[in-house]
Amino acid sequence: MSASLGCWNIADLSYKARARLPRGVWEYLERGVEDETGMDRNRSALDALTFVPRVARNVERIDLSAKLLGERSALPFAIGPTGASGMIHYNGDIALARAARSADIPFTISSASTLDLEQIVAEAGRVWFQLYLWENRELSFEVVRRAQDAGCDTLFVTLDLPVPPNREYLMRNGFGIPFKPNRQNVVDVLTHPRWLCGVIGQYLLREGKFPQQANLPRELRQSISKGGKPGAQFKQDNLDWVGLAELRAMWRGKMVLKGILHPGDALLAADRGMDGVIVSNHGGRALDHSVAAIDALPAVLDAAGDRLEVWFDSGVRRGSDVAKALALGAQGVLIGRATLYGLAAGGEAGVARAIALLSQELRRTMAYLGANSVADLDRSVFGPAHLLP
């Protein structure tokens, strides 16, 4: 029972996470933007895809391994970049990185992490770095160079937030990073003593301060500590393909663009020498009325051809969701909220439980489809074309 945490699916982990977290932290993790139609659309689109099972295929041995961005992974998915994991669990990024290493899958460090990227790399296996750009571009490039020097082999550039998203609940709840008690959140925090002691209390006891965005360039952190914030805001409304080419030229490893939904953008990415794109609508947390990511995947795949590695992200809650993305043609899948639920529910053990649940469900789905390996998953598992929604 201890290994399972009493959780038998991702929804169980979500239920435990919600009980443990203050409302402000929970809503940051769970909610979308504006009227939250995007989250519902992601789920509805995934549910609309149905399989046609095969029988008598001898599925005694099923291989879940895959080649992800040039290297073998034990599973065809990786943990994607998620901000504020340090507010969900003390040193949450390290718990995520360790669980990924134990499962032999990659982990992606977020620009919005509350730990220095070098600290996380020291605890990780294969590790990638996700970038948001700040107003001061040269200082942003400093962080990119740090990630390269630390051993991150792939740079993810998130493009689907050109301007800050409209997350009204954050203002209502008074939640932000660095965390600051205020009249909106103090009652919420005091009614969740386990989180208050286990997360905020640990930061104050061990480090003497609240968690903050550790991967801000050092100069910006020094400026903030002195009361100023010049250049310390994320700023991507002026990012274009010229700026991306500059990043491509300075990064020696693989470079992937996250947040692609239009096939034309995939073509531009290939023309500019990118290695991959991630089809994602930011889990319904950017533009509320954007197309569901799974619906956008086929057209992006067709545009990319064999010039780019194409991944899927947004809304994965079951191993069958992973199977659907792979069957449509995605080379890999990013997991976000699912592992954060595990982190909140049980720290590193909870993250490991989330990974195990998804892998078990994927294996079971593949058995029903008669697939012995990830390579066996293709569009034929959905049956004749007229059965596709």
Catalytic hit among 89, 192, 262, 282: 282
Nearest to 300 by CA among 329, 274, 332: 329
What is the structure's pLDDT at 1? 47
Q: Is 3 within the bounds of a domain?
A: no
Q: Is 186 within the bounds of a domain?
A: yes
Nearest to 42 by CA among 272, 274, 337: 337
Q: How confident is the model at residue 230 (pLDDT cuts 50, 70, 90)?
A: very low
What is the structure's pLDDT at 247? 95
Q: Is 4 within the bounds of a domain?
A: no
Q: Is 109 within the bounds of a domain?
A: yes
Alpha-carbon 183 to chain mean position:
31
Q: Is 282 a catalytic residue?
A: yes
What is the structure's pLDDT at 170? 79
Mean pLDDT, the chain, integer: 91
Looking at the DSSP bridge assignments, the partners of residue 185 are: none
Q: What is the rounded CA–CA span in Å between residue 314 and residue 283?
A: 4
Q: How confident is the model at residue 383 (pLDDT cuts 50, 70, 90)?
A: confident
Q: Which of 9-18, 72-81, 163-172, 205-214 has the lowest mean pLDDT?
A: 205-214
Q: What is the rounded CA–CA span in Å between residue 107 and residue 129?
A: 9
What is the structure's pLDDT at 185? 80
Q: Would you mind telling me the total number of residues written for the chain in this entry?
A: 389
- Does position 220 have pLDDT exceeding 50, yes or no? yes
Q: Is 235 within the bounds of a domain?
A: yes
Q: What is the rounded CA–CA span in Å between residue 122 and residue 142?
A: 19
Q: What is the pLDDT of residues 24-63, one digit of tens each?
A: 999 999 999 999 999 999 999 999 999 999 999 999 999 9
What is the structure's pLDDT at 216? 61
What is the structure's pLDDT at 218? 57
Number of domains in the chain: 1
Contacts of 176 (CB under 8 A, 6+ apart): 170
Q: What is the mean pLDDT of residues 335-340?
A: 97
Give me the domain span that covers residue 108: 10-49+68-371
Instruction: Read off the tokens for 86.
Output: 């340090």
The single-letter code of the amino acid at 222 is Q
Q: Is 177 within the bounds of a domain?
A: yes
Q: What is the pLDDT of residues 138-186, one digit of tens each?
A: 888 999 999 999 999 999 999 999 998 888 887 887 776 666 777 778 8
Q: What is the rounded CA–CA span in Å between residue 5 and residue 349?
A: 8
Q: Is 198 within the bounds of a domain?
A: yes
Q: How confident is the model at residue 241 (pLDDT cuts 50, 70, 90)?
A: very high
What is the structure's pLDDT at 210? 76
Report the CATH number that the domain containing residue 307 is assigned in CATH.
3.20.20.70
CA gyration radius, the chain: 20
Nearest to 154 by CA among 252, 13, 19, 281: 252
Q: Is 187 within the bounds of a domain?
A: yes
Instruction: Read off the tokens for 311.
Output: 């991944």
- Does position 317 have pLDDT exceeding 50, yes or no? yes
Q: Which of 85-99, 101-115, 219-233, 284-298 has the lowest mean pLDDT?
A: 219-233
Instruction: Read off the tokens for 187.
Output: 């009652």
* Cα dihedral across residues 297, 302, 303, 309: positive or negative: positive
Q: How confident is the model at residue 3 (pLDDT cuts 50, 70, 90)?
A: confident
What is the structure's pLDDT at 213? 66
Helices (H), the chain: 10-20, 23-30, 37-48, 85-88, 92-103, 117-121, 137-150, 168-173, 186-190, 193-195, 201-207, 218-225, 241-250, 263-271, 293-304, 319-328, 337-369
Q: How confident is the model at residue 228 (pLDDT cuts 50, 70, 90)?
A: very low
Q: What is the rounded CA–CA span in Å between residue 87 and residue 195?
A: 9
Q: Cβ distance 355 to 5 under 8 Å?
A: no
Helix axis angle, 337-369 relative to 10-20, nearest 10°? 170
What is the structure's pLDDT at 164? 86
- Does position 351 have pLDDT exceeding 80, yes or no? yes
- 3-state secondary structure at position 154: strand
- How is residue 325 annotated by DSSP? H
Looking at the DSSP bridge assignments, the partners of residue 129 are: 109, 155
Contacts of 1 (CB under 8 A, 6+ apart): none
- 3-state secondary structure at position 68: strand
Q: What is the rounded CA–CA span in Å between residue 29 and residue 284?
A: 12
- Does position 231 have pLDDT exceeding 50, yes or no? no
